[in-house]
Amino acid sequence: MNARQAAGHNECGASIMAEAPLHLDATRLVAQLKEASLFVDSHNRTLRFSRGVCRTRAGFERLAQCLPR
């Protein structure tokens, strides 16, 4: 990564991590969110939400609508 890329990277913000509830399959949840164009990855039960999803209030609201209860 060069200095210009690093500067732009720092302006993007950070990822948000969350632990999937025990009753949900994190891998399945990642696939469901991808179908809604919400990009998330997982490691075990930890979900990592992309900066694009979590950058605006509208992004959070869209994510909340797609998450199972």
Q: List pLDDT tens digits, range 1-46.
A: 444 444 455 555 567 889 999 999 999 999 999 998 888 999 999 9
Which pLDDT band, with edges at 50, 70 and 90, does 64 fall under?
Answer: confident
Cβ-in-10-Å burial (0-12, 13-18, 19+) of 63 comes to middle
Cβ-in-10-Å burial (0-12, 13-18, 19+) of 1 comes to exposed
pLDDT of residue 13: 59
pLDDT of residue 5: 47
Within 1-69, strands assigned E span 16-19, 40-43, 46-49
Distance of CA 23 to the CA centre of its chain: 19
Domain range summary for the chain, segments of one domain joined by +:
15-66
